[in-house]
């Protein structure tokens, strides 16, 4: 089964080719269809900002490492007991790459993100087919195309970030980073009642995208003095909710100064494993009483992500599409930053729902 994988560990951007990581397409054996499993013929798999970190060996160090956790497709086969979701062969679906076991202490404590067995069904979806447990598979709404559907997983991350901000209607909100998660979380926060909704993003096209879909203000952190702009926008108070979706160590450096007293700051990205952020405890936790947290994965968020997805505007995130065998070029495009999202077409699956 053809699967996109990290074939050599290393930074995908390294200028020295001997140190540079590599992405290729390899043959992986098909997973057996267990009694509660669902086999999906994958239509689309989106490249995630976390994938280059995987190439650097963030999670494991033996190659090949299969990739792909943002997928859509159609049900090709069902195990004999995979009936609890009412899924049928031919259903258009998307899914959660993590199966929560439901049995371990973390699952039973209401903290599925720490499930001790999350690797059991974490199978690469940037492939011709993927076999997941039925609890990981969600039927797409009738008005969501397969192309849009592959954004269910990043949408679930946006939902989880929104949950963790604890936003109250009318709170002022700042989103740092206009990549896919930043754009999705901006739209989700808008629906949550965010005010003075502002995005910090150096790329003009991404700022424009945010303005078209709910941002009231945008800040170019290179051309503008972001602290001065934020002071102006918030009358010197700072934002009630600050979300980092950039994953950039340079971008997070000044973020706490943009937060209001008592604000919540969510680090909603993946960061370099060795990065240590300086944190003045007196200024930020004692005097300002900031609440800081992050998001690892998104348990409990998928049903609500599925409900909100039809209302999100994602056309501009689904324009760059490459065929499976062309995955190396797709990753080059991803790294170029030309498109906020790059998508792999894993099979040519006819879709009765037009992409819009």
The catalytic site residues sit at: 50, 53
Q: Contact letters (x/-) for Zn ion, 26-55, by CB under 5 A?
A: ----------------------x-------
Show the tokens assigned to 144.
């969501």
Our CB check for Zn ion shows the closer of 107 and 229 to be 107
Binding map of Zn ion across residues 104-143, x = CB under 5 A, - = no contact? x--x-------x----------------------------
Terminal CA-to-CA distance of the chain, rounded, Å?
30
Residue 51 C-beta: closest distance to Zn ion, Å? 8
150 binding Zn ion? (CB under 5 A) = no
Of residues 74 and 101, the one with the C-beta less far from Zn ion? 101
- The smaller minimum CB distance to Zn ion, of residues 179 and 238, is found at 179
Size of the site for Zn ion (CB under 5 A): 5
Shortest CB 320 distance to Zn ion, Å: 16
Cβ at position 46, least distance to Zn ion in Å: 8
Whether 47 contacts 317, CB under 8 Å: no
Q: Which residues partner with 85 through β-bridges?
A: none
Binding to Zn ion (CB under 5 A): which residues in 151-210?
Answer: none
231-267 residues labelled b (16+ CB within 10 A) or e (exposed): eebbeeebbbbbbbbbbbeebbeebbebbbeebbbbb
With respect to Zn ion, which residue has the nearer C-beta, 115 or 174? 115
| Closer to Zn ion by Cβ: residue 239 or 331 | 331
Backbone phi and psi for residue 148, each to the nearest 5 degrees, phi listed first: -70, -35
Least distance (Å) between residue 21 CB and Zn ion = 18
Binding mask 229-258 for Zn ion (x = CB under 5 A): ------------------------------
Q: CB of residue 36 vs Zn ion: minimum separation in angstroms?
A: 15
Cβ atoms of 344 and 47 closer than 8 Å? yes
| Nearest residue (CB) to Zn ion, 6 versus 197 | 6
CB of 107 to Zn ion, least distance (A): 3
Strand partners, 321: 343
Under rule CB under 5 A, residue 101 binds Zn ion: yes
Interface with Zn ion (CB under 5 A): 48, 101, 104, 107, 115
């Amino acid at each position: 089964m053809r699967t996109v994988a990290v074939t050599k560990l290393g930074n995908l951007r390294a200028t020295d080719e001997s140190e540079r990581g590599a992405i290729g397409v390899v043959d992986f054996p098909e997973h057996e269809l267990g009694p509660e499993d669902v086999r999906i013929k994958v239509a689309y798999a989106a490249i995630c900002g976390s994938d280059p970190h995987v190439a650097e060996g963030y999670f494991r160090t033996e190659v090949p490492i299969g990739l792909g956790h943002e997928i859509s497709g159609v049900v090709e086969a069902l195990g004999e007991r995979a009936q609890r979701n009412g899924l049928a062969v031919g259903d258009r679906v998307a899914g959660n790459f993590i199966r929560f076991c439901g049995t371990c202490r973390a699952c039973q404590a209401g903290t599925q993100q720490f499930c001790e067995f999350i690797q059991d069904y974490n199978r690469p979806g940037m492939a011709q087919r993927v076999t997941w447990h039925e609890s990981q598979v969600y039927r797409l709404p009738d008005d969501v195309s397969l192309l849009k559907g592959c954004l269910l997983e990043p949408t679930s991350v946006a939902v989880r970030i929104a949950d963790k901000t604890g936003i109250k209607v009318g709170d002022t909100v700042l989103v740092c980073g206009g990549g896919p998660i930043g754009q999705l979380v901006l739209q989700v926060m808008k629906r949550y009642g965010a005010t003075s909704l502002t995005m910090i993003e150096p790329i003009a096209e991404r700022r424009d995208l945010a303005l078209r879909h709910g941002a009231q203000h945008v800040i170019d952190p290179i051309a503008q003095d972001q602290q001065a702009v934020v002071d102006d926008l918030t009358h010197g108070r700072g934002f009630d909710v600050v979300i980092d979706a950039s994953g950039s160590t340079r971008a997070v450096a000044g973020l706490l100064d943009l937060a209001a007293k008592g604000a919540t700051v969510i680090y909603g990205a993946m960061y370099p494993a060795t990065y240590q952020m300086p944190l003045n405890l007196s200024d930020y936790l004692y005097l300002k009483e900031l609440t800081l947290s992050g998001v690892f994965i998104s348990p409990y968020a998928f049903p609500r992500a599925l409900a909100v997805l039809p209302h999100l505007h994602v056309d501009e995130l689904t324009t760059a599409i490459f065929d499976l065998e062309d995955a190396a070029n797709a990753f080059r495009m991803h790294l170029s930053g030309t498109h906020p999202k790059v998508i792999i077409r894993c099979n040519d699956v006819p879709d009765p729902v037009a992409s819009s």
